[in-house]
Structure formats: structure tokens, C-alpha cells
Structure 1
């Protein structure tokens, strides 16, 4: 079968891979679409993401949907939950499986040997990670379930947002989906900042009330204070903005993965204003909520900017990395 493999920085190859054989308790999935994620781009462009570095060739991809080939759902369209928590650690016992200390996550270099991902024509995964699609949800839109789950988890970490003004820094695919998640959670007003006008247009499509050029102090609509802030850009300047604009006693959620090493931030504001700074990492049960939300809202289709066939994987990655030309890019594994 054909698959996509990252061998190191700037070394992405489409190549023949051995087809997997499902083991006990596993389901074989014929992959149709895979969304190119920011972490996939980091592995390709930088050889790692955050503190996770490539140490061997790895199949990327964790936003995958397709058709079940084996098991009770054989022949049905399905989405794949990419996480396999251990179920034994203190975090799993506490109901926080998304921060399981021994989890396996598709297309991740967090452990060695790396967990191979889903950018291949066939994928064998534990049966409990396979979800049938709700009626009426097309496969291409279902490919947004994983990043939307990340966004829903971040909004949950923010606490009560209904009726509140929320700032989102960063209008990449995750930031735009955070906007949609905030809307579904009843936020009264959503303001989004970014450096790229095209990205801000996607944020407006997702439901932002106000979009602001992050590098323009005179940009119309720039808030002086917000109730809650979600940092989705993954840069220290975004966190700085969130901490300076959130009200006293407000909450800031750090969702974007910051560069490895130390990142400066105005820590004294956390103290003097009693700001609650919270991390948000991946997701757990939000995956099923994401599928339900996608099924009832066709407007999510507008965030899919391109669908390219697997042999053009390098072009798809380059397009996904160019935020002036894309929001979410999908790979098509048909054929």
C-alpha cells in the first residue's frame, strides 16, 4: 500500500509500505481522508514538535477517516480516535486520559519507538477507537473531528464561557475551530487576533465577531479587556497578549504548543491579577461531541481549503504550511 513517511527535517516521501494485519481486538480501516495538522508540519519542517524530536522514520497523521474493513462496523464510514491511553496510570484513574503518562497517539514522536500514524491506505487500530459517523456526516467533513475535539477540550478548560467575551490569539485551523466551539458553547462575543489577513477571514467564517491584526495597535475592534482568553498561536507573543488583556481573576488557556525550551511571559500579571493560567492538551471524550457538532453544521466545510491526492503529499504539506493560502488541507487516499 502507499503511505507518507517523514524521514527527517524536510524529508517527506510517498512510498510503498507493508499493509497491516489487524491483531486481536483491532479493526482494519481503509483510510479515505487525512487532515494535515500543525504537528505534522513541524515534524516535516523542523524534525520535531515542541520537545518531541524525530529519532526514526515515521508515518504522520492523526486526523483520519475512512471505511471499516473488518469488525462489526465493516462497510460503514468511520472516524478514528487517535489516542490509546494506558488505562492504568493515576491520570487515567482520575478521568484525565488525555494526559495519560503512557499513552500512544497516532503519528507521534513522544515515545520511542514512535507511534506510526494514519497517512497510509490502510490502518489497524483498537476497535474502541473506531467511531461510526452520525447520519448525514460526509467523510471529508468528519476529517475535522480530531482538531475540533482539541478545540472543544480547550473551551472546556476555559470554564464557563456562555455570555462572555473571549479572545482567541491565532487564526490557524485550531484557532478557527476554537471559535466554532466557543459559538456552540454560548460565548457572547469572540475576538480573534492574527498576523495574516487571510487567516482572519477564515476566523470570520468560523463565527468570530471581531478580527484584529495582531501587529496593528490601531486595528479597529482591538479589545481593552476580555473575560477569557485562549492562546492558539503557539508563540510567546500570543500568550503575552492574552495575559495583558484578560480581566482580573480571568482565565487564560494555553493551547498552542510553544517552541521547545523556555518561553518568556509576564508572570507578575498572573500574580497581581490572580489570573488562572491553564494548559489544554489533546482531548478525550470530546471526540464524540465533535462528530455530533460536525453532523449538524455544514458550514464547517468552508474551513476545508483544499483536498489533494496522496501522491501530492509534499505539495499538500507546503500548502498547509502557507497560511495565506489555506486553512485545513486534506490528503485523499482513494485508490
Structure 2
């Protein structure tokens, strides 16, 4: 069988990317060929990758599952792809699947690298799976309890998902905090209370920081009550962060803890693996209210021009979706 032609988006140098042709070998007996329908751009991590800001010390740990090339570039990076299986085992053929794959119109992966979408979950919303997986892992690290007072700082995609999940725990008092007043609209869509930092109530049992800003982390320390835990979900790349760990940090006996999705939270690692966690994330995306997290869409062919613009105006971006051209046979497929 002849090779298959594909196109992929590569970051060639900081702030500059291009589409490159790829030659794929036909899938083997335990592999699938996926035709992409949508992928999603992670505003936080992908902006650091695209702008060449991954620290040298973290370049090995920050590799995506199917990344090609090395930081700072040329590198093919990404981890939120939804498509249709064009070739593969009978039980997967023509099925809609999610894969932690970079921005590419067709790709071949082992069949166990894809997860079939739950019935009724649209392609368009399924691109949020990697973000939901991050939110799940963060809550496993945080361990919220019935009745907790919880502050979530940063109304980006991950922060909003965390607040959305926390608000559904009985008896909790959740506040989603952001410096941008327009995030009120998002919070209303998710049915989560919203406030600006100066309006936030203190003495919280749990604070989760996901704003990507040192100022947000400092606010988190101020809002934590005695013996409270602050979970840090932001990744600052090469930025140094100074914190007021004098003042009442010690007298309130606060716990500051990092959470990162690359490792299953220790509290669940004995029983959960990556595949089961991602499957849960897809199941939790069934709520149509989560469509509010999609802030825009552009065509795959325009990605070299649209990627720099997205990160230039990052404050307005939540989840940006990338749409791929379809053939007649698969345009309506599920």
C-alpha cells in the first residue's frame, strides 16, 4: 500500500509556525488512521511552546504524547484532537474518537491511543477533554469536601471547569475570581458565582489558583483561611515568582501545593490510569453549558497566521478550536 499524505502544524522558531507535509505509513493491524475534525489550542501551555519559553530543565517532562521535534523548535506540539477513524479494526472503523495528538489533518496511532466519544457528545465540545482531564486531576490533588468554602482564581478554561465541578459538590460555597469583568458571562453560563478580586470573600477552606499570574497566586494566599490548602495549577515556564511567605503564611499554617496533569494524582494512582481518567473527562463533557468555553474557531490551513494573533490577544481567548476540511464520506460521520 502506498504512503498517505498529511499536513501538520510545526513551530519552527519562537513566534513562527508553518504547515508541513507529512508522509504516513498505512496503519498496521493494531493501528488506526484518523481523519481530524477538530483540534484545540491550549492558551497556557501552547503559548509557552509557540513563543519558545519552555525552560531547558523541563523540556523532557513537557513533551506531549505524540510530539515530534524538540523545544524550542522545530517542534510539532498539541494534545487535543477529535476525528473519525478512516482505517483500522472493525470495532473502531468510522467511529468518532479523541486522541492526545498535535494539530494534523490525518495521523496514524496505536488503536489504544484513541478513545471513542460517548454517544451524544459533539465533536465540537469533545476538544475540551484534555482541559477537563486537567481539572479532574487538580480536584483529586485538592480533595474538596462537602460544605467547603472554595475560591478558584482564574476564569480561563481550566479554572472555569474546576469551579463548575466544585459547584456541584453539595453544600459548597464556590467563587470564581478573575480580573476581567467580562468573565461574568462565562460564569453565568456555567452557573457558578463570579467576582472580581477585591470582591472575593476570605477564610476559604480551599483555594485553587489557575490564572497564570503571580498576582493571582498572591491573592490566593490572602483568601486562604487557617490550615487551608492552596493548589497551584498554573505553570509559569521561565518566569520567576516572588510570594509574601512572611506575614500570616506561617501563623495560618497554610499548605501550598502544585498540581500537574502529567502524573495521576497520588490519591488515585493505585486504581486509575491515564486512559480511565481521560474517559471520565469525556463523560463529564456531556453538559451543553460547557460550550461557553469555546471562544472562537479558525481553519487549519490558516493556523500559521492565526496562532500568533491568538497569543497576542490571549486575554480574550478561552478554548480556540481548529476546524479541518472534510471529504464527503466523513463530513457527517459518527
- For this structure pair, what is the TM-score category when the shorter chain's length is used for normalisation? 0.7 to 0.9
Distance 1:51 1:187 in 2: 42
Q: 1:191 aligns with which of 153, 157, 175?
A: 175
> 1:28 deviation in Å?
2.5
Q: CA RMSD in A?
A: 2.3
Contact 2:12/2:73 (<8 A) preserved: yes
> 1:202 deviation in Å?
2.1
Alignment coverage as a number of residue pairs: 293
Q: 1:232 aligns with which of 193, 198, 210?
A: 210
Going from structure 1 to structure 2, the CA distance change for 1:239 and 1:143 (only over 3 Å counts) comes to same
Contact 1:36/1:320 (<8 A) preserved: no
> 1:302 deviation in Å?
1.8
Mark the runs of 5 or more structure 1 residues left unpaired by the alignment.
83-116
Q: 2:47 aligns with which of 31, 41, 50?
A: 41
Q: 2:230 aligns with which of 252, 260, 283?
A: 252
Which is higher, the Rg of structure 1 or of structure 2? 2
Contact 1:42/1:49 (<8 A) preserved: no
Mark the runs of 5 or more structure 2 residues left unpaired by the alignment.
1-5, 60-70, 265-273, 327-334
Which is further off, 157-166 or 258-267? 258-267
Contact 1:141/1:294 (<8 A) preserved: yes
Is residue 271 from structure 1 mapped to residue 250 from structure 2 by the alignment? yes
Q: Which residue of structure 1 lines up, in the alignment, with residue 140 of structure 2? A: 156
Q: Which residue of structure 1 lines up, in the alignment, with residue 119 of structure 2? A: 135
Distance 2:51 2:181 in 1: 23
Distance 1:332 1:320 in 2: 15
Contact 2:233/2:258 (<8 A) preserved: yes
Distance 1:325 1:51 in 2: 30
Going from structure 1 to structure 2, the CA distance change for 1:326 and 1:198 (only over 3 Å counts) comes to farther
Is residue 79 from structure 1 mapped to residue 98 from structure 2 by the alignment? yes
> 1:24 deviation in Å?
6.5
Going from structure 1 to structure 2, the CA distance change for 1:277 and 1:15 (only over 3 Å counts) comes to same
Going from structure 1 to structure 2, the CA distance change for 1:160 and 1:118 (only over 3 Å counts) comes to same
Q: Which residue of structure 2 lines up, in the alignment, with residue 330 of structure 1? A: 321
SS where residue 271 of structure 1 aligns?
Answer: coil
> 1:118 deviation in Å?
1.8
